[in-house]
């Protein structure tokens, strides 16, 4: 909690111009320049140079990775045929009742523990009402009053000025994690003025993770979400793939002057990737600063990020101001969790959730894994981040290390500079790599034994990418890339070269 | 043996082969036809019923009946889902709606071989106390056509008045009560949220049991107030109610509010000694509007216990008088929420209005719901508004807690069972009843029954005597949570003492003298 906030006060000038995580060049570029030209001439008595403090909070919906939905037995699956995973309850047929999925509760408890939350031994479910085509019951079951986990924190790191060597670690407070139902999906067909509804997603379990407004720029928000994503994936509580909607981020953004209360905030939605999150937040911060410095006001509104234009635009509000008319969900008794102390002896262990039991079985979290990597292999801390950021890369690295005599500190160079950049260039995942850890290890062993040169090794690797099933040794032999260990043979070769180039030799000798 | 039309007796007759399930089913179907004017049924499932009866018959032939309910014709209130048979809630919203699944209670009955005759009439979405406010019209109380009522109430000279003299069944499970009372089935399911099973049971002279909340699954019961709804049981005697309870009660994985423990069905003992019993008479039930006739009957009943050696004590439930207003807030709030799903998209009525999704919703709900339902939705949403939530909903919940605590205190003081009237008076003629609006009537009529729902307690109406007008009057026993056996045992003892007279259905007899032959002898017993 020590490293809260950027320590960053933003001045307009800092955000201008190219580079940095600033807003895209269009379409506000024009106005930004115009503003800039005005210099400090800001109306409303405020000095244009008065620094602004941006405040960013996040609401993150993570789809729980489970076989069935939060309150029904329907399967959870991405991209199944429309309305093929819909139970009577999901379609809210009259008379159906919710039955809580234990796996979803366990996922939330795991996540809560991993985020240092206190787990509420008694939490409650509520109904949140609004009419929408993809919400068949007319309400969402959520945890408004007493959520399952509260008061946690998440540490994340980011590099300063894009330099990997200058990493800082910050902490964002987690206000709460609540269990709730996902909605279905509406597809609007404007030409036929039809709305098509797919209820496959309706009722899938979500964890809403509410992060306190402890961040101050897009980079921080992006780093925090990336760390959360890694945590969720490590736990297996969510697959957390943003592109598949398993992780959805809404950002609450406001700006204010030091010593003044927080400004009016806007909520930015429709952010589909971590990269866009950074862009959207920074754009919104900048927009608010400009708006205020131009004497305008910020409306408490919901804005959507337009990734093509790189800006946020006001969203058409569904029905103006909503009153969700929250009410306790009467069909679900309070959710009671136990720990080793409170667990009643006569309880069926299949039916209860023991927090301590889950805690003891938590896997190593990314932060711990990184520490271990640094400690065990002597690699740089920043390299440990890169290793964990790519799914499966750390495992690949460790597997290579196990199979070679090369020092891990050297191996990491090959992993990051060669393997990773190749994969990135070709948009491949680690799993899809044409070169297995075993092949790479073979190659590095040849290098380590000085059988080939480093440049020859690169040549072999280039050949290996083709994925023709040849071993590094075969390639070395085929292309005669071995380092020559025999003095005589070397002399012969040299002599042959010299003999073939007599003119050049003659010319060189006097020189 | 069929003369009293009791479930246990007919079950024995089936077992002994004195009657076959098909014969029994056909008799009931014929009776449903001849009593059609009662409007007790919305849907008669003749075909499936006969098929079920046939299957039952096969089982009896093989000597492998499924139990006491095998081949027994039953009826189910039309707010329970029945797969393949229309479920309407007596509302335009669900007219023609065929559910793809059976409510757990329906499934349990079918699994035990019961024959489902049809779906019974009610107030729209069970909102009412008369069974007069459904789209299929009001239910007529079979007692309107009884010899007993006619002799005492209907002016013989004005035969045209007969039409306007029929009395209501009470509600909202009036169709089920009328069905049991008119012998068209041997037992029926109702639902009870504020008295909807006990009230019509009292008016129709049958037993109406509202079990403890959580004892019977609500899965498949289209909800009124989830936190108070309980499937109700309507039968012609207390023993039969115990049989039904035994076949329905227990944990249901599909309803998280049901008790975890298994329920052990019981047979009711014949109580001979009531001297160890403590009967509480809650003074607050001496409510304004309580007819002197019922008051007298209530004291007589108390004396009956006293004279038999039971301890009879006056007790106080001080917060009961707030139950009506408290119920109003909690009920409408849940109604507003529960009715939100009826938007015309997935099922049910959908308006032709298509200008926008919102206008389609609005028109669908305007056309689909009657004034009563819409009124409750409106008030409920008002109480749930952010600025009102604390002031109304939270406060009502607190009052509900106080009401429940009153009962706990009384029972803790040593009282075993509470004895109260079920209704303020006997059944009103339809023409009188509809002079007041639904809300006023519900407010008056639920006053004696509602508190048991607030507290989740088991309660039962036992038919006690006929009023001066020749109409049934019942008294209510309220027991401790999950102490159905004790409650029913006492109710059975009381039932035996009072010897409530059998209905003499003159009108129906004209239509079907054969089927009602057995009742003639019954009336002399």
Nearest to A209 by CA among A221, A199, A217: A221
A99 confidence band (pLDDT: 50, 70, 90): very high
d(C-alpha B406, C-alpha B420), whole Å? 15
At A323 the pLDDT is 94
At A36 the pLDDT is 27
HEC states along A389-457?
HCCCHHHHHHHHHHHCCCCHHHHHHHHHHHHHHHHHHCCCCHHHCCCCHHHHHHHHHHHHCCCECHHHH
Better-scored residue on pLDDT, A87 or B357: A87
Token pair for B268: 């009711």
Determine the average pLDDT of the residues in A469-491. Answer: 82
Instruction: Work out the number of other CB atoms within 10 angstroms of the CB of residue A61.
Output: 17
d(C-alpha B192, C-alpha B224), whole Å? 9
d(C-alpha B466, C-alpha B167), whole Å? 14
Spell out which residues of chain B touch residue A86, defining contact as CB-CB under 8 Å. none
Contact B346 A133 (CB under 8 A): no
Picking from B256, B334, B386, the nearest residue to A97 by CB comes out as: B256
Picking from A92, A99, A195, the nearest residue to B357 by CB comes out as: A195
How far apart, in Å, are the Cα atoms of B478 and each of A445, B200, B230, B454, B484? 85, 17, 15, 12, 10
A59-73, A434-448, B41-55: the lowest-pLDDT one: A434-448
Of chain B, the percentage scoring pLDDT greater than 90 comes to: 86
Spell out which residues of chain B touch residue A323, defining contact as CB-CB under 8 Å. 385-386
d(C-alpha B176, C-alpha B198), whole Å? 11
- How far B20 CA lies from chain A's nearest CA (Å)? 34
Q: How many CA atoms within 13 Å lie on the side-chain side of B313? A: 13
Contact present, A236 and A40 (Cβ < 8 Å): no
Contact A95 B219 (CB under 8 A): yes
Token pair for B305: 């216990």
Contact present, B209 and B203 (Cβ < 8 Å): no
φ and ψ of B464, to 5 deg: -115, -50
At B153 the pLDDT is 81
Of chain A, the percentage scoring pLDDT greater than 70 comes to: 87
B4 confidence band (pLDDT: 50, 70, 90): low
Picking from B81, B253, B393, the nearest residue to A99 by CB comes out as: B253
At A195 the pLDDT is 85
Contacts of A13 (CB under 8 A, 6+ apart): none
At B455 the pLDDT is 97
Spell out which residues of chain B touch residue A138, defining contact as CB-CB under 8 Å. 337, 339-341, 343
- How far B139 CA lies from chain A's nearest CA (Å)? 24
Picking from B100, B340, B386, the nearest residue to A139 by CB comes out as: B340
Spell out which residues of chain A touch residue B103, defining contact as CB-CB under 8 Å. 95
Spell out which residues of chain B touch residue A94, defining contact as CB-CB under 8 Å. 81, 87, 89, 94, 99, 222-223, 341-342, 347
At A50 the pLDDT is 79
Q: Show which of residues 299-358 on chain A sit within 8 Å of chain B, judged by CB atoms.
A: 319, 323, 325-327, 330-333
Residue B116 belongs to what H/E stretch? strand B115-120
Q: What is the DSSP string of B474-494?
A: EEEEE--TT-HHHHHHHHHHH
Q: State the Cα torsion B122-B126-B127-B131 to the nearest 10°.
A: 20
Contact A99 B254 (CB under 8 A): yes
- How far A96 CA lies from chain B's nearest CA (Å)? 6
Chains A, B: CB contacts within 8 A come to 100
d(C-alpha B21, C-alpha B17), whole Å? 9
d(C-alpha B76, C-alpha B180), whole Å? 11
At A194 the pLDDT is 83
Contact present, B422 and B474 (Cβ < 8 Å): yes
Of chain A, the percentage scoring pLDDT greater than 90 comes to: 67
Nearest to A457 by CA among A424, A399, A411: A411
State whether residue A117 sits within 8 Å of chain B by CB: no
- How far A102 CA lies from chain B's nearest CA (Å)? 13
User: Does the pLDDT value for residue A336 go beyond 60?
Assistant: yes
d(C-alpha A233, C-alpha A245), whole Å? 14
Instruction: Work out the number of other CB atoms within 10 angstroms of the CB of residue A117.
Output: 24
Determine the average pLDDT of the residues in B234-263. Answer: 96
Q: Mean pLDDT over all residues of chain B?
A: 93
Contact present, A355 and A342 (Cβ < 8 Å): no
**Three-class DSSP category at B141:** coil
Q: Is the bond preceding residue A27 a cis peptide, omega within 30 degrees? A: yes
Chain B residues contacting A, CB < 8 Å? 80-81, 87, 89, 94, 99-101, 103, 218-223, 225-227, 253-257, 333-334, 336-337, 339-343, 345-347, 357-358, 361, 381, 384-386, 389, 393
d(C-alpha B511, C-alpha B37), whole Å? 11
* B214: closest chain A residue by CA: A331
d(C-alpha B380, C-alpha B400), whole Å? 17
Contact B256 A197 (CB under 8 A): no
The residue whose two tokens read 């043979």 is A489
d(C-alpha B108, C-alpha B216), whole Å? 11
A510 confidence band (pLDDT: 50, 70, 90): low
The residue whose two tokens read 């065929």 is B98
| Among A90, A330, A334, A346, the residue to mutate for chain B (most B Cβ within 10 A) | A330
- Residue A186 burial class via C-beta count within 10 angstroms: exposed 0-12, middle 13-18, buried 19 and up: middle
* A130: closest chain B residue by CA: B340
Q: Where are the alpha helices (DSSP H) in B308-356?
A: 323-338
Please list the residues that pair with B315 across neighbouring strands.
B282
How are beta strands A53-63 and A247-256 bridged, if at all? antiparallel
B509 confidence band (pLDDT: 50, 70, 90): low
Token pair for A425: 């260039």
Token pair for A388: 């964990």
Task: Give the angle subtended at the CA of B332 by the CAs of B329 and B335, to the nearest 5°.
Answer: 145
d(C-alpha A103, C-alpha A48), whole Å? 54
At B1 the pLDDT is 35
Contact B256 A333 (CB under 8 A): yes
Q: Which residues of B are catalytic?
A: 77, 172, 196
At B332 the pLDDT is 97
How far apart, in Å, are the Cα atoms of B418 and each of B233, B301, B477? 20, 12, 5
User: Does the pLDDT value for residue A73 go beyond 50?
Assistant: yes
Determine the average pLDDT of the residues in A182-203. Answer: 91
Nearest to B280 by CA among B301, B297, B296: B301
Nearest to B275 by CA among B311, B224, B230: B311
Spell out which residues of chain A touch residue B381, defining contact as CB-CB under 8 Å. 325
Better-scored residue on pLDDT, A371 or A15: A371
Instruction: Work out the number of other CB atoms within 10 angstroms of the CB of residue B265.
Output: 16
Determine the average pLDDT of the residues in A265-290. Answer: 95
Contact A91 B346 (CB under 8 A): yes
Contact A94 B81 (CB under 8 A): yes
How are beta strands B187-192 and B73-77 bridged, if at all? parallel
Picking from A94, A129, A330, the nearest residue to B226 by CB comes out as: A330
At B524 the pLDDT is 28
Picking from B220, B254, B337, the nearest residue to A327 by CB comes out as: B337
d(C-alpha A119, C-alpha A113), whole Å? 7
How are beta strands A122-123 and A167-181 bridged, if at all? unpaired
Contact B341 A97 (CB under 8 A): no
Please list the residues that pair with A157 across neighbouring strands.
A169
**Three-class DSSP category at A188:** strand
Contact B384 A129 (CB under 8 A): yes
Contacts of B24 (CB under 8 A, 6+ apart): B10, B14, B53, B71, B72, B73, B115
Contact B99 A95 (CB under 8 A): yes
How are beta strands B472-478 and B459-466 bridged, if at all? antiparallel
At A325 the pLDDT is 97
Picking from B87, B103, B256, the nearest residue to A99 by CB comes out as: B256
**Three-class DSSP category at B101:** coil
User: Does the pLDDT value for residue A379 go beyond 80?
Assistant: yes
- How far B351 CA lies from chain A's nearest CA (Å)? 15
Task: Give the angle subtended at the CA of A138 by the CAs of A136 and A140, to the nearest 5°.
Answer: 90
Determine the average pLDDT of the residues in A461-467. Answer: 88
How are beta strands A205-215 and A167-181 bridged, if at all? antiparallel
Give tens-digit pLDDT for A381-402: 889 999 998 889 999 999 999 9
Give tens-digit pLDDT for B455-507: 999 999 999 999 999 999 999 999 999 999 999 999 999 999 999 999 998 75
Largest CA distance in chain A: 102
Contact present, A393 and A387 (Cβ < 8 Å): yes
Token pair for A161: 């000025």
Contact A99 B343 (CB under 8 A): no
Contacts of B268 (CB under 8 A, 6+ apart): B238, B239, B242, B485, B488, B489, B492
Nearest to B290 by CA among B444, B454, B417: B444
At B304 the pLDDT is 97
Q: State the Cα torsion A376-A382-A388-A394 to the nearest 10°.
A: -40
The residue whose two tokens read 């009563």 is B372
Please list the residues that pair with A176 across neighbouring strands.
A150, A210
Determine the average pLDDT of the residues in B109-122. Answer: 98
* A94: closest chain B residue by CA: B222
Return the CA Rg of chain B. Answer: 22
User: Does the pLDDT value for residue A29 go beyond 50?
Assistant: no
Determine the average pLDDT of the residues in B392-415. Answer: 97
Better-scored residue on pLDDT, B278 or A493: B278
At A6 the pLDDT is 44
Q: Mean pLDDT over all residues of chain A?
A: 86
Contact present, B207 and B494 (Cβ < 8 Å): no
At A32 the pLDDT is 29
User: Does the pLDDT value for residue B48 go beyond 50?
Assistant: yes
Domains recognised in chain B with CATH numbers: 7-155+162-268+458-523 (3.90.1300.10)
A193-197, B137-141, B488-492: the lowest-pLDDT one: A193-197
Determine the average pLDDT of the residues in A337-355. Answer: 87
At B159 the pLDDT is 53
Contact present, B225 and B450 (Cβ < 8 Å): no
User: Does the pLDDT value for residue A7 go beyond 50?
Assistant: no
How are beta strands B278-282 and B73-77 bridged, if at all? unpaired
Spell out which residues of chain A touch residue B80, defining contact as CB-CB under 8 Å. 95
How far apart, in Å, are the Cα atoms of B497 and each of B87, B311, B312, B458, B478? 39, 17, 17, 22, 18
Residue A125 DSSP symbol: -
Instruction: Work out the number of other CB atoms within 10 angstroms of the CB of residue A340.
Output: 11
């Amino acid at each position: 909690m020590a490293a809260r906030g950027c320590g960053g006060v933003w001045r307009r000038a800092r955000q201008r111009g190219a580079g940095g995580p600033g807003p895209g060049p269009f379409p506000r570029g024009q106005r930004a320049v115009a503003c800039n030209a005005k210099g400090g001439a800001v109306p409303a008595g405020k000095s244009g140079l008065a620094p602004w403090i941006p405040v960013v909070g996040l609401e993150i919906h993570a789809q729980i990775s489970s076989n069935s939905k939060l309150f029904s037995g329907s399967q959870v699956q991405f991209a199944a045929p429309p309305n093929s995973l819909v139970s009577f309850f999901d379609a809210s047929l009259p008379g159906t009742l919710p039955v809580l999925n234990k796996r979803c509760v366990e996922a939330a408890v795991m996540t809560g523990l991993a985020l240092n939350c206190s787990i509420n031994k008694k939490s409650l479910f509520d109904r949140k009402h609004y009419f929408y085509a993809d919400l068949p019951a007319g309400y969402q079951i959520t945890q408004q009053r007493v959520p399952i986990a509260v008061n946690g924190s998440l540490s994340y790191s980011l590099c300063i000025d894009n330099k990997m060597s200058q990493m800082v670690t910050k902490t964002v407070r987690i206000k709460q994690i609540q269990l709730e139902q996902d909605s279905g999906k509406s597809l609007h067909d404007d030409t036929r003025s039809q709305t098509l509804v797919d209820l496959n997603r309706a009722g899938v379990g979500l964890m809403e993770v509410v992060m306190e407004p402890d961040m101050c720029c897009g980079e921080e928000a992006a780093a925090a979400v990336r760390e959360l994503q890694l945590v969720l994936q490590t736990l297996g509580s969510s697959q957390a793939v943003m592109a598949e909607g398993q992780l959805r981020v809404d950002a609450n953004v406001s700006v204010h002057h030091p010593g003044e209360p927080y400004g009016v905030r806007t909520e930015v939605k429709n952010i589909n990737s971590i990269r866009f999150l950074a862009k959207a937040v920074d754009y919104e911060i900048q927009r608010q600063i400009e708006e205020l410095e131009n004497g305008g006001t910020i409306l408490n509104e919901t804005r959507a990020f337009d990734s093509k234009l790189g800006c946020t635009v006001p969203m058409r509000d569904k029905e103006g101001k909503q009153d969700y008319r929250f009410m306790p969900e009467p069909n679900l008794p309070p959710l009671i969790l136990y720990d080793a102390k409170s667990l009643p002896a006569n309880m069926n262990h299949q039916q209860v959730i023991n927090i301590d039991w889950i805690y003891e079985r938590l896997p190593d979290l990314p932060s711990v894994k990184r520490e271990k990597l640094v400690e065990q292999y002597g690699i740089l801390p920043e390299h440990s981040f890169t290793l964990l950021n790519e799914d499966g890369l750390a495992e690949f690295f460790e597997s290579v290390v196990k199979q070679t005599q090369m020092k891990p500190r050297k191996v990491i160079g090959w992993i990051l500079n060669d393997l990773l950049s190749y994969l990135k260039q070709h948009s491949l995942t680690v799993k899809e790599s044409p070169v297995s850890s075993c092949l790479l290890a073979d190659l590095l062993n040849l290098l380590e034994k000085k059988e080939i040169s480093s440049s020859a090794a690169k040549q072999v690797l280039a050949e290996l990418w083709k994925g023709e099933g040849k071993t590094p040794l075969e390639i070395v032999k085929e292309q005669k890339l071995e380092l020559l260990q025999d003095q005589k043979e070397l002399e012969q070769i040299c002599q042959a070269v010299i003999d073939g180039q007599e003119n050049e030799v003659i010319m060189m000798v006097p020189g | 043996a069929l003369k009293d039309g009791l479930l246990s007796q007919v079950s024995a007759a089936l077992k002994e082969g004195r009657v076959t399930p098909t014969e029994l089913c056909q008799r009931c179907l014929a009776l449903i036809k001849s009593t059609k004017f009662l409007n007790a049924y919305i849907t008669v499932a003749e075909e499936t019923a006969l098929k079920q009866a046939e299957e039952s018959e096969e089982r009896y032939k093989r000597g492998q009946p499924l139990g006491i309910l095998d081949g027994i014709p039953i009826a189910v209130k039309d707010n329970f889902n029945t797969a393949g048979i229309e479920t309407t809630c007596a509302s335009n919203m669900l007219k023609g709606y065929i559910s793809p699944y059976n409510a757990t209670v329906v499934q349990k009955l079918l699994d035990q071989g019961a024959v489902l005759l049809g779906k019974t009439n009610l107030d729209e979405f069970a909102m009412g106390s008369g069974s007069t406010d459904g789209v299929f019209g009001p239910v007529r109380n079979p007692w309107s056509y009884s010899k007993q009522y006619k002799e005492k109430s209907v002016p013989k000279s004005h035969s045209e008045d007969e039409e306007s003299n029929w009395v209501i069944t009470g509600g909202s499970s009036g169709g089920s009560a009328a069905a049991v009372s008119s012998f068209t089935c041997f037992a029926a399911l109702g639902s009870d949220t504020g008295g909807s099973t006990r009230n019509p049971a009292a008016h129709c002279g049958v037993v109406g049991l509202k079990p403890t909340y959580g004892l019977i699954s609500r899965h498949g019961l289209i909800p009124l107030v989830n936190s108070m709804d309980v499937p109700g049981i309507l039968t012609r005697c207390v023993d039969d109610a115990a049989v039904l309870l035994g076949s329905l009660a227990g944990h249901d994985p599909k309803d998280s509010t049901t008790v975890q423990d298994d329920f052990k069905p019981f047979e009711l003992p014949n109580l001979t000694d009531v001297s160890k019993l403590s009967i509480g008479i809650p003074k607050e039930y001496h409510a304004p509007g309580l007819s002197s006739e019922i008051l007298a009957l209530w004291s007589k009943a108390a004396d009956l216990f006293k004279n038999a050696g039971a301890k009879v004590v006056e007790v106080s439930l001080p917060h009961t008088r707030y139950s009506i207003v408290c119920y109003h807030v909690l009920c409408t709030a849940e109604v507003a929420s529960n009715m939100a799903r009826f938007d015309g998209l997935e099922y049910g009525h959908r308006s032709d209005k298509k200008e926008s999704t919102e206008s389609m919703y609005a028109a669908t709900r305007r056309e689909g719901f009657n004034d009563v339902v819409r009124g409750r939705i409106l008030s409920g949403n008002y109480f749930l508004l952010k600025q009102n939530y604390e002031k109304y909903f939270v406060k009502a919940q607190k009052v509900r807690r106080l009401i429940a605590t009153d009962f706990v205190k009384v029972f803790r003081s040593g009282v075993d069972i509470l004895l109260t009237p079920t209704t303020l008076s006997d059944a009103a003629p339809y023409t009188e009843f509809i002079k007041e609006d639904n809300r006023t009537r519900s407010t008056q009529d639920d006053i004696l029954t509602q508190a048991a729902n607030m507290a989740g307690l088991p309660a039962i109406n036992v038919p006690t005597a006929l009023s001066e007008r020749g109409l049934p009057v019942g008294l209510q026993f309220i027991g401790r949570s999950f102490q159905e056996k004790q409650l029913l045992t006492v109710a059975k003892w009381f039932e035996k003492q009072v010897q409530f007279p059998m209905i003499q259905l003159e009108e129906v007899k004209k239509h079907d003298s054969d089927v009602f032959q057995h009742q003639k002898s019954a009336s002399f017993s």
